[in-house]
């Protein structure tokens, strides 16, 4: 049941990103991926309190949606999918994990102990838990007992200052199924560079404890090749890649090369069409704008096309624009 123990090393994972790594983007990336270059994907983080709240649930449940097309690709490429959840009430984790295990198709659950947004940190959630190790351990314990699904944790190297060994030591006492460590403190948000030497300390700590607990590093990785190199250099079981896909949506593909205009625009259309098919009018169409600057770049007329794409309000607008430019 615990896939973390059996999947190939180095483990390459897609990082969870709110309003980004929904079932549509994951499907698109899975379609392009070489199975040797992508082993685990995660949902956007979902609030346990929100899921248990009658009205709040409607606002967040879409984050756990996995289309049948995505399920097919996950099976075909043998990629595991993990639901990421957050909150600060152990009993709420238990309820949510039971529901996930009983009625959804996830291979594991990940607890977010890394989001640095002050609003959630003030409530003692996400990276706020770095300041409350006893509650963090209680949550992991409760989550592990809730179902047979493996429970992993994604976190940072400290709250206001670096405290890798102390904090990760606490987490390791609770024996999560895996740990992903983003090499920045909460205070750093996304500033500076991720510190992979600190991440390496966590792997050494694990070795010193003599336990079987995969440690994945995260932060600023731009390619699968770089991810593999970092795993070897820092003695890690895996690496997780997030924003790199904004530079290169083909990041997990076997063939790494410049993509032609036709390929870029075909992917742009595939993405738009899939978004429309899956979400219809239920999600803001403007969420797609973030991607237009990724697809429409690096060819003559790209800036113009990008500017016009930013004005689109519907799939029909995008279709006619692409027809004109194609």
Ligand X SMILES: Cc1cc2nc3c(=O)[nH]c(=O)nc-3n(C[C@H](O)[C@H](O)[C@H](O)COP(=O)(O)O)c2cc1C
Applying CB under 6 A, which residues contact ligand X?
15-18, 20, 44-45, 84, 112, 114-115, 154, 182, 218-221, 241-244
Catalytic residues: 115
> Residues 139-160, buried b or exposed e (16+ Cβ, 10 A)?
bbbbbbebbebbbbbbbbbbbe
In the numeric block, the tokens 């123990």 are attached to 5
Q: Could you tell me the smallest distance in angstroms from the CB atom of residue 304 to ligand X?
A: 27
Q: Could you tell me the smallest distance in angstroms from the CB atom of residue 111 to ligand X?
A: 9
Q: Could you tell me the smallest distance in angstroms from the CB atom of residue 114 to ligand X?
A: 5
- For residues 17 and 302, which CB has a smaller minimum distance to ligand X in the complex? 17
The Cα-based distances of 75 to 61, 81, 143, 202, 234 in angstroms read: 23, 10, 26, 32, 31
Residue 290's Cβ-count burial label (10 Å; 0-12, 13-18, 19+) is exposed
* DSSP codes of every residue in 15-76: PP-TTTSSHHHHHHHHHH--TTT--EEEPPPEEHHHHHSHHHHHHHGGGG---HHHHHHHHH
Instruction: Give all strands (DSSP E) within the chain, no chain letters.
Output: 11-14, 40-42, 46-47, 80-86, 108-113, 151-156, 179-182, 215-218, 238-241
- For residues 196 and 265, which CB has a smaller minimum distance to ligand X in the complex? 196
**202 neighbors 181 (Cβ within 8 angstroms):** yes
Rounded-to-integer distance, Cα 318 and Cα 308, Å: 9
Q: Could you tell me the smallest distance in angstroms from the CB atom of residue 229 to ligand X?
A: 15
- For residues 15 and 203, which CB has a smaller minimum distance to ligand X in the complex? 15
In the numeric block, the tokens 């690096």 are attached to 298
The total of other beta-carbon atoms located within 10 Å of residue 119's CB is: 9
Q: Could you tell me the smallest distance in angstroms from the CB atom of residue 56 to ligand X?
A: 17
Residue nearest to ligand X (CB): 242
- For residues 60 and 266, which CB has a smaller minimum distance to ligand X in the complex? 60
- For residues 75 and 123, which CB has a smaller minimum distance to ligand X in the complex? 123
């Amino acid at each position: 049941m615990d896939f973390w123990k059996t999947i190939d090393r180095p483990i390459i994972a897609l990082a969870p990103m709110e309003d980004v790594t929904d079932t549509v983007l994951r499907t698109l990336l899975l379609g392009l991926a070489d199975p040797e270059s992508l082993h685990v994907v995660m949902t956007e983080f979902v609030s346990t309190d929100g899921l248990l709240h009658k009205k709040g649930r409607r606002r967040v449940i879409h984050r756990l949606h996995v289309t049948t097309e995505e399920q097919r690709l996950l099976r075909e490429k043998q990629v595991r999918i993990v639901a990421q959840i957050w909150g600060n009430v152990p009993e709420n984790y238990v309820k949510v994990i039971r529901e996930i295990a009983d009625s959804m198709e996830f291979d594991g659950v990940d607890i977010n102990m890394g989001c640095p947004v002050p609003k959630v940190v003030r409530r003692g959630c996400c990276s706020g838990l770095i300041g409350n190790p006893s509650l963090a351990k209680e949550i992991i314990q409760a989550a592990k007992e809730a179902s047979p699904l493996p429970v992993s944790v994604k976190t940072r190297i400290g709250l206001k200052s670096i405290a890798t060994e102390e904090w990760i030591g606490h987490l390791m006492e609770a024996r999560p199924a895996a740990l992903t460590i983003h090499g920045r403190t909460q205070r750093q948000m996304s500033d500076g560079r991720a510190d992979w030497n600190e991440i390496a300390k966590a792997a050494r700590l694990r070795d010193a404890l003599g336990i079987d607990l995969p440690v994945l590093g995260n932060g600023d990785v731009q390619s699968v090749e770089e991810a593999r190199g970092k795993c070897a250099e820092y003695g890690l079981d895996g690496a997780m890649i997030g924003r790199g896909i904004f530079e290169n949506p083909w990041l997990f593909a076997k063939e790494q090369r410049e993509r032609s205009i036709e390929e870029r625009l075909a992917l742009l259309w595939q993405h738009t069409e899939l978004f429309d098919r899956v979400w219809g009018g239920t999600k803001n169409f403007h969420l797609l704008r973030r991607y237009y600057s990724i697809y429409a770049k690096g060819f003559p007329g790209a800036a113009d096309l990008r500017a016009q794409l930013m004005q689109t309000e519907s799939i029909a607008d995008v279709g006619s624009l692409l027809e004109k430019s194609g």
